[in-house]
Structure 1
């Protein structure tokens, strides 16, 4: 198949002023789908994100026997009553939540389930998931690769109990176990044994969703979670807007000296993207609540920042793009784990910013970015949606910037490219 031609990113000489309602949260949608498939009855999900990652998750759960009926903005999920024993295959694409969450679910069934994905997915670290499954007594055949593809041979039951895991590379290893722990015969006593745990908001989101469904989760000790065995209640929910995806529009406003209203920003949320409330003032901008919305506005200049992004690493590419357009240097730290994401995001950001004439340097756990005048070129995305977001932010201030495979944004935001083009080419508001 021929690769799509590079996409000319919209360039803007005037402030972007607008409003945006972003689609539902990918992180929340995929967690809710897993819990609905494990529930004690049907659950209705309103405003779920319909993107590549969530469609892959829905397809995976259907493969494992769940039923998902879609009717416009609502999905009704009915748990599987019997999975059968015939071998099946799950396509993970590039979705970390599918390749790390669903194998634990497959372990509860009787069928051999093979997991595979895109070419880039086969280099993502999966050894921890595979080792964890084996420590639970689950047979896994990975050919010694510690990566996709691998096959989980479920026996219909998982004893559970105490599990130790080093999740310093990804919080998804913890969330994967927490989501299914209540269905283990002895529940789950999970202990993180590695270094600093990244992306804690995602774990907090997982725990909150479990508790909403009647699952008892004790978190009395740091880096330890005790999930008591029992049923997972069916629950009808509405999905919050994806605040990480809101970040690209917020950045668009700040780098052009403009203002954007993000509609229906949740007052109380576990999403990592809620950190934009603090990140924007660090860049010299302002954040103003207005009813159910938040209004983000640029300050007199876009100043450089020093930020520890350990808990919100997924925001790093867009923040790095803003830093490359700032007036003073920026240091972004706490994100060494980004080397194991869809691509090595630290190396990729340094390579692509410097390709445009920038001055970015990879640190042991982050990036040092010194602003310089940038020029147009092709910005490679490495099939990573967050890299594409970084590219389009840079394109607003850098003429003739071409984005390789902007379509990769469908991973978490359907129709992102046409939405971005329509908003960013609209006449400036007076």
Structure 2
């Protein structure tokens, strides 16, 4: 019990090392090519997975990732922990404080980019036969919600990384997009929680079952935020809180896992609990403590668990057998145009200039991490099959690439992002600065 042989351990550690190394290496190369890092991390799984290695060398793929009976489940556990930490980190990026004058822009774009694309996605499920993409849960209602979310979702982690890479995180435009995406995606995660709850219901979809799922999800949100706010504000920094005194990060991870567990027992997806734990920490913790938490969690998450999560997503893809290229191109055009046109018109409605409206339209199309999370959660819940899983993952990757390329083009042209950013100077980050500093420090130590 709780044990396996040294050979099995060695094999699993070797497979993990190879997967992690590929994820970091291809993520690094992607960044050098001005591509979002997540694309390189997923590409690592595609190369090592059934799409390439498994297709040309199936025995090598099976030996590496199915070398003993429980290896796939061990990778599944790391995959789930990475997903949980990704959602917790996304919650830590949540932002609701807007400067005076920005409230109108954010409110209009949040409403427009959430409600209208969601409604278009829902209507599309009546015009397009998505029955071919139904998963084992056989829930037509749930797949309609997934399709609607896939049209509307935006990625906070990826769009934040794009802004960092471009050196415009300090711009008014970047701050507004991140704030909008935070509120916008939280609303969509509520819809995903309802979809997974209905899919797990097992019986026929009735108004009562849907209302019950909505009630449980909304009640869970309200109670969790209230409890976490009270906990973080009043009971965390206390002499009697020995768990917090023992390990600050351990204390917050404990809360994250407990909240996620409660969500799972309520038939709400566990990642929703992790997201709320992150939001609660963002809303209630003092700035100094929050920064310490954020730095610690982001460091361990993005160095190990999250890259492995995205790489395992690539391992799950089998583009050689389960990918309809023609349908994907059609779906990509529909999703991109739907979100872009709606956000563009919403911006014009509040009298934003053409280039500002276009910038918001392109930025809100970066589906990135949340788009991949949507696909993995829906696939795990049996809502969609492997064909649609592949389409949603590729949709998230391509739209993130397009958003980053457009914003880079705008900056290279010398165009402003939006009013207030006329004199913005990109703060270029030298990715090699840490290595250079480390080399200099080692040289000084040798001289001493």
Give the TM-score normalised by the residue count of structure 2: 0.22
Q: Of the two structures, which has the highest relative contact order with CA contacts closer than 8 Å and spacing of 6 or more?
A: 2
Q: Structure 1 or 2: larger helix share?
A: 2
Q: Structure 1 or 2: larger strand share?
A: 1
